[in-house]
Amino acid sequence: GYAEHGAIVHYSATPETNHMLDEENFLLLDMGGHYYQGTTDITRTVMLGTEATDEQKKYYTTVLRGNLALGAAKFHSGITGVNLDVLARQPLWEIGCDFLHGTGHGVGYLLNVHEGPNAIRYVASKQPGGDPALEPGMITSNEPGVYLENKFGIRLENLILCCEAEHTDFGRFLEFETLTLVPFDRRAIDVKGLSDKELGLLNAYHQRVYEEIGPHLTPEERDWLQEECSPIL
């Protein structure tokens, strides 16, 4: 959805509601597909035009911080998505915002894009047994967002794979590997709103995007990706 339509979580364009795109607002794109290698689900919010406003940068950067925090989580085995949900929401809560959908859903393989039992949300499932613990091999979405009525919506979604991290004297620890490799829109990022750790996570992610995706592109496409993934200082 573009501009105010992006604030409608699952907007569908109609002849009565659609309008022309211009160069002054966000375009929210939620997409994916089924492949023999797996099912994808990704959302990126891109700025149409050359520069985002201070307000647009503020909210985009806040959502990005939540995405980075959840993607970098390391946690004890036995933890459920309910325990981790706060990582994605805390930056938004700090500025008095929230989003009214789950932070993450399980993803099926050539089946349902939304498929349990794994999920990341702050209200536990009412099904018998509640939410299961996250286990290696589970793929879950990481999709914090913010939606400002009549203005714009922002959602940044990656798929993350639960993996073994390490065993210590305190038990077994797990972490996430981000599977989605698409750059974030640097034009909408307020660098001053990121901590040194967050900036390091962002630059490391972009470096990985370029290293893994670049070899599959044409020279022209690779030049574009290199620019989008260059370190932010």
Q: Domain 3-228, CATH 3.40.50.300 — does that match?
A: no
* Cα four-point dihedral sign 198, 201, 206, 207: positive
* pLDDT per residue of the chain (233 residues) written in tens, 0 to 9: 877 888 888 788 888 888 878 878 999 999 999 998 889 999 999 999 878 999 999 999 999 999 999 999 999 999 999 999 999 999 999 999 999 999 999 999 888 899 989 999 998 777 777 789 999 999 999 999 999 998 999 999 999 999 999 999 999 999 999 999 999 999 999 999 999 999 999 999 999 999 999 999 999 999 999 999 999 98
Residue with tokens 């879950």: 140
Closest residue by Cα to residue 47 from 174, 152, 145: 152
pTM of this prediction?
A: 0.94
**44 and 62 in contact (C-beta within 8 Å)?**
no
Strands 171-178 and 74-76: antiparallel
How far apart (Å, rounded) are the C-alpha atoms in residues 77 and 74? 10
Left (φ > 0), alpha (ψ -120 to 50) or beta: where does 29 sit? beta
**164 and 176 in contact (C-beta within 8 Å)?**
no
**47 and 187 in contact (C-beta within 8 Å)?**
yes
* Domain residue ranges in the chain: 3-228
Structure tokens at 228: 């989008």
The amino acid sitting at 55 is E
